[in-house]
């Protein structure tokens, strides 16, 4: 069960649909593992419903319905009934029998596509990363895989980073993170993640700006780090 949760503000924005797209993917990943936050979102959706219900068109002139709205909708429904066909329910490839990827939330599975075709790049001896295309331009969305027992170089953050553990676990100075745990890192938050010994750790990472390695290594490497939002 996840121990580290998103804030009320993030949950509210997710429920309202105003949380940035990439962060909403991270939230979907967390909720997949966290029944409590799922319940919170359902409560917030009920709030949204009530607000929607209570707002009359006169409050907002731009939301006035066209006079022929009802007839248009009805004819669209009739049309759909006429050429109704059973559509294939989903295009997510499901034939790969990779247990780690099978257990992932729907949105993540979809942007991964075929896990065998992920292009993992070498970041450090213990860390591999695979960039994902999420359909937005504000954050880099990627999968990170830390080798079991392996450590990632200590780093600071130059912008917001949200990490959701998808499989395995890792720890840093502040705690141990298991599947579903939702971590928010801001500039000034320094850490050195280390995967636990039992298995590789797979995380979803959403970053707004490149991380900043600390120490001498950082002096050489940091100017060359960049992100690739997609």
Partner 1 sequence: MYKVWTKAPSFDRSKAAASTWIYTIARNARIDFIRKNGSKDANTVELIAEDIWDEENDNQPYVYLNQARDKATVDQLLAELPPEQSECLKKIYMEGKSHVEVANELALPLGTVKSRIRLGVKKLQSWLTPAEGVC
Burial of 210 (0-12, 13-18, 19+ CB in 10 A): buried
- Residues 69-108 binding partner 1 (CB under 8 A) are 73, 76-77, 80, 91, 105-107
Question: Is residue 133 near partner 1 by the rule CB under 8 A?
Answer: yes
As given in the structure block, the two tokens for residue 197 are: 């010994």
Here's the x/- map for partner 1, 103-132, by CB under 8 A: it reads as: --xxx--xx-x-------------------
Residues in Cβ contact with 109 at an 8 Å cutoff, skipping those fewer than 6 apart? 92, 101
As given in the structure block, the two tokens for residue 17 are: 């649909």
Residues in Cβ contact with 123 at an 8 Å cutoff, skipping those fewer than 6 apart? 129, 144
Here's the x/- map for partner 1, 6-25, by CB under 8 A: it reads as: -xxx-xxxxxxxxxxx--xx
- Residues 24-63 binding partner 1 (CB under 8 A) are 24-25, 27-28, 32, 35-40, 42-55, 60
Question: Quick one: how far is CA 30 from the chain centroid?
Answer: 8
Residue whose token pair is 């050429």: 83
- Residues 166-205 binding partner 1 (CB under 8 A) are none
Question: How many chain residues are in contact with partner 1, going by CB under 8 A?
Answer: 58
Minimum CB distance to partner 1 smaller for 47 or for 217: 47
**Residue 40 CB neighbour total at 10 angstroms:** 19
| Shortest distance in whole angstroms from residue 209 CB to partner 1 | 17
Residue whose token pair is 């990490």: 163
Residues that bind partner 1 (CB under 8 A): 5, 7-9, 11-21, 24-25, 27-28, 32, 35-40, 42-55, 60, 73, 76-77, 80, 91, 105-107, 110-111, 113, 133-137, 230
């Amino acid at each position: 069960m996840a121990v580290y949760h998103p804030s009320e503000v993030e949950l509210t924005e997710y429920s309202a649909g105003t949380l940035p797209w990439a962060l909403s993917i991270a939230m979907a990943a967390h909720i997949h593992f966290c029944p409590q936050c799922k319940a919170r979102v359902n409560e917030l959706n009920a709030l949204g419903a009530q607000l929607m219900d209570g707002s009359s068109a006169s409050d907002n002139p731009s939301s006035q319905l066209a006079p022929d709205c009802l007839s248009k909708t009805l004819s669209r429904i009739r049309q759909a009934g006429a050429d109704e066909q059973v559509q294939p329910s989903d295009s997510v490839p499901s034939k790969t029998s990779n247990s780690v990827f099978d257990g992932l939330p729907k949105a993540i599975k979809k942007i991964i596509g075929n896990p065998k075709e992920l292009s993992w790049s070498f970041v450090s001896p213990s860390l591999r990363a695979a960039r994902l295309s999420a359909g937005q331009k504000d954050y880099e969305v990627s999968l990170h895989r830390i080798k079991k027992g392996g450590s990632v170089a200590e780093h600071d953050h130059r912008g917001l980073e949200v990490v959701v553990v998808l499989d395995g676990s890792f720890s840093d100075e502040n705690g141990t993170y298991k599947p579903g745990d939702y971590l928010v890192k801001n500039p000034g938050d320094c850490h050195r993640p280390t995967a636990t010994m039992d298995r590789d750790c797979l995380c979803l990472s959403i970053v707004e700006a490149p991380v900043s390695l600390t120490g001498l290594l950082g002096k050489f490497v940091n100017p060359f780090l960049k992100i690739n939002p997609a």
